[in-house]
Amino acid sequence: MTWPVAELDNVARLRILAAAQPSALFAEEVVDAPFDAVWAVAADLERELPVLLPDVRSMRITAADGERLEGRARGYGGVRARFDIVLRPGWCVMQSRFLLGGMAAVPDGGRTRFAFLGGFRFTGMRLLAPAVEPLVRGYGPLVIRRLRDRLEATPPA
């Protein structure tokens, strides 16, 4: 007897991570660009994260050990956070003491399925999530729209 096997791509894995996080917002769309072009933008955390995320002023990678990174983000208004990051092709998950973020991408023919995850990591979010959700509903689609804008502005390498 053999056990059934379920293969999950990176976007499905990020969707599961979002479902397990009470406050998570998740957005997924097909981007009309090849995977390599999409991931070149998404994975360039220091240059592109401040462009993609409206509340991030800067991101600096402070340590790297293979696919495990440490970064320091600075937001507008002086908010700062240290993030533990896992970055590999098609997969990026970042967590700080209070925040969780992620991006995932998989090839879809000549296009790319891209997903974004954002959420808070603190006690009580399960209770606050229904009140917060209307305020952040448009954040994920905004990030993906900004990614599309960057891809249109960046000539293929």
pTM of the entire structure?
A: 0.87
Q: Give the Cα separation of 143 and 61 in Å (integer).
A: 21
Pairing of strands 91-95, 99-108: antiparallel
Mean residue pLDDT of the chain comes to: 88
DSSP H or E segment with residue 62: strand 56-65
* Domain boundaries, given as residue ranges, for the chain: 10-150
Q: Give the Cα separation of 103 and 117 in Å (integer).
A: 6
Q: Residues of the chain with pLDDT > 70: what percent? A: 87
Q: What is the CATH number of domain 10-150?
A: 3.30.530.20
pLDDT tens-digit series, residues 82-123:
999 999 999 999 999 988 999 999 999 999 999 999 988 766
Q: Give the Cα separation of 105 and 20 in Å (integer).
A: 19
